[in-house]
Amino acid sequence: MTTRSAAARYARPRDHRSARGAGAWPSPALLFGLVLLAGPTAAQVIPPSIDDLIAKATREGSLRVIVELKTDPSPTREAIAAAQDLVLQELAGTRHRVLRRFTTIPFIALEASADTLQRLAGSLFVGGIREDRPLRTR
């Protein structure tokens, strides 16, 4: 029986390929090509365009949305509240209802009419608009 030191037992081979044989790892170019060929997956669902959201709000009367606000990369609570106030001021005269004003992330949840969505789409303070849909449980 041979005795090996703890360092020798847990040491990695100097060349990681030597442990698995030459060429065991696929090239990065091959992996990238496979990702491109795979196309969009369920996790990469493309969200509806603003036009689709406006059309749905027109059909249904209103639509629940999550609005992403443009802020500094690491906004404070005060900066988030100020951005929310600016967006809500722009929505004056439109049919909407505030569902939630988030305090630690730059988002606001609204129930919005089609005219509200059009106003949001043209706002300089809005970074994105997504439909707020309940998650399906399995």
32-90 pLDDT tens trace: 555 555 555 545 556 689 999 999 999 999 999 999 999 999 999 999 999 999 999 99
CA–CA gap between residue 117 and residue 127 (Å, rounded): 13
Burial (0-12, 13-18, 19+ Cβ within 10 Å), 58: middle
Residues 27 and 56 in one domain: no
Q: pTM of this prediction?
A: 0.65
In-domain check, residue 59: yes
In-domain check, residue 7: no
In-domain check, residue 136: no
Residues 56 and 38 in one domain: no
Question: What CATH number is given to the structural domain containing 117?
Answer: 3.30.70.80
Rounded (5°) CA angle 81-84-114: 165
> Could you tell me the residue range of the domain that residue 37 belongs to?
16-43
Count how many Cα atoms sit within 13 Å of the Cα of residue 65 in the half-sphere of its side chain: 28
Higher pLDDT among residues 24 and 77, named by residue? 77
79-136 pLDDT tens trace: 999 999 999 999 999 999 999 999 999 999 999 999 999 999 999 999 999 999 887 7
Q: What is the SS3 assignment for 68?
A: strand
> Quick count: other Cβ atoms within 10 Å of Cβ 128?
14
Residues 93 and 108 in one domain: yes
In-domain check, residue 3: no
Residues 126 and 92 in one domain: yes
